[in-house]
Amino acid sequence: MKRARIGDVVEIRTGKGLAYAQYCHKKEQWGALLRILPGTFPLRPQDLAALVRQKESFVTFFPLQAALSKGIVGIVGHEPVRRRPNRSPSSGPPDSSIGRAEFTIGGYGTANVHGESANSATRSGRCPFAPYGTTRH
C-alpha cells in the first residue's frame, strides 16, 4: 500500500464523476488536510497541474491513509503545494479569502468563527453553518 505524501493529488469517485483533492498538510490530532479542488469530471483531466493551481473550493480534514488502504480514494499525481504565509490549519483554512472559520468534520472537536464559538455564532445568525459539519465560503 502506498503512503500518502504532502503534495499528492487524490482522485475521489462520486455520483457526479471524478473529484480531486490535494494533500497539503498533516495535523497529528485531525489527520490529513485536503484542498478540495473545483469541479467534477467524467474522465481524469490530462493536466492535473493546472487543476491544482486553481483556487480550492474548500479545505477539510480527512482520514486519507485509511481511505487509501480501503481503496476508497487513489493517488493519481503529485504537485507542489501552494504556500501561504502566516496561516495554518489550526487557525482556519489556509486561504483567508475562503473565510475565517475553523471547523472539523463529523461532530468531533469545536468550530470557531471570527473568534466566536460556532454555537453562539449560529444562534446569533453570524455563522452560516451548523457547528457540526462543513461548509463552502
Task: Tell me the per-residue pLDDT of 13-41, one tens digit each, with 9 for 90 and over.
Answer: 999 999 999 999 999 888 999 999 999 99
Reported as a pLDDT band with limits 50, 70 and 90, residue 95 is: very low
Among positive and negative, which fits the CA dihedral 32, 37, 42, 47?
negative
| 29 grid coordinates | 490530532
Per-residue pLDDT for 54 more than 60?
Answer: yes
Q: What's the rounded Cα separation, in Å, for the pair 48 and 35? A: 14
Mean pLDDT of the chain: 73
> DSSP class of residue 117?
E
pLDDT of amino acid 55: 94
pLDDT of amino acid 2: 80
When pLDDT is averaged across residues 67-93 and rounded to a whole number, the result is 76
CB contact at 8 A, 107 and 61: no
Reported as a pLDDT band with limits 50, 70 and 90, residue 45 is: very high
More confidently predicted of 108 and 82: 82
Residue 115's contacts (CB-CB under 8 Å, 6 or more residues apart) are: none
CB contact at 8 A, 24 and 6: yes
| 90 grid coordinates | 489550526
Among positive and negative, which fits the CA dihedral 20, 98, 59, 52?
positive
Q: What's the rounded Cα separation, in Å, for the pair 110 and 104? A: 7
pLDDT digits (tens, 9 = 90+) for 114-135: 444 444 433 444 434 333 344 4
pLDDT of amino acid 123: 43
